[in-house]
Amino acid sequence: MSVEQSLLGKDTNYPTEYQPEVLFPIARAEARAKYAHVDGIQQGIDWWHIFEISWLNLSGIPQVAIGRMHLPASSPYLIESKSLKLYFNSLNFAQFESQNQFIETVERDLSKAANAEVRLELFDVDQLNIAQPEGICIDHYEPERLENHPNASLLKLDAASSEEIVEIQLYSHLLRSNCPVTGQPDWGTVFLRYRGKKPCYRSILAYIISYRQHNGFHEQCVEQIYADIWENFNPEKLMVYATYTRRGGLDINPCRVSDFAWMPSPIRLARQ
């Protein structure tokens, strides 16, 4: 099924009965086709934070939590965000004998939709701490030129030290793209961990800003950023991790790595 057949951008009624069938998988293969040769394009995790989780205990008393979903990047399918919101809303009036039973039910349903093992962590509503970004913020640099659509030719090595091998982590808060169905803006902070010839920080910032009018799902944007940096800089190792702001009670945080030893721990930033 194509995303045009999903409920994204359409008026819908929120279910009051458990409806796992509302989950809408979207195949990753088409968007990945042109990057199939890139090392690590299917390595990593999509972390989702779900802020509107509730169910009933056996006494009918509502229980609430914040969830962190772990969806492997190797899964054949991602799950369309509105269908995930509707799915969690369908659990609001379902009774479970324990939190573990709730988690087991959700993991079973999401794993079936993604055709891969999906894991769910639950946190108390006051438990998920705000983290500070680590690395070098590149937002104060002045790009040589700006474009409104992704252009990998913007990426340049540092001309003054192009043979120097560095291991760095950079980040920018200036990532913006659009939902390809609704046109709504998506905002995020993107982290790049990199080992290889020293890149030009201004060029990386210009490239990140070039997504400003791009239409693409969060996961697809991160994979395109990863692939373009990999192909243009030929690094020894690379990690790209984007923490997107919340919409509809969900935030999506895709991460791709060339080496699993570089998998970061998931975080939640202040804007989320």
6 closest CA partner among 21, 27, 25, 28: 25
CA-CA distance, 177 to 208, in Å (whole number)? 10
Number of H helices, E strands in the chain: 5, 10
Contacts 24+ apart (CB under 8 A), 224-229: 224/35, 224/150, 225/190, 225/192, 226/38, 226/40, 226/41, 226/256, 227/34, 227/35, 227/38, 227/41, 228/150, 228/152, 228/155, 229/155, 229/192, 229/194, 229/204
Known catalytic membership, residue 137: no
CA-CA distance, 209 to 198, in Å (whole number)? 20
Q: Identify whether the C-beta of residue 220 lies closer than 8 Å to the C-beta of residue 78.
A: no
The residue assigned the tokens 């939640």 is 268
Q: Is 13 left (phi over 0), alpha (psi -120 to 50) or beta?
A: beta
Catalytic residue chosen out of the listed positions 46, 126, 137, 179: 179
Known catalytic membership, residue 186: yes
Maximum CA extent, the chain: 68
Q: Identify whether the C-beta of residue 19 lies closer than 8 Å to the C-beta of residue 90.
A: yes
Catalytic residue chosen out of the listed positions 39, 139, 158, 186: 186
Catalytic site positions: 179, 186
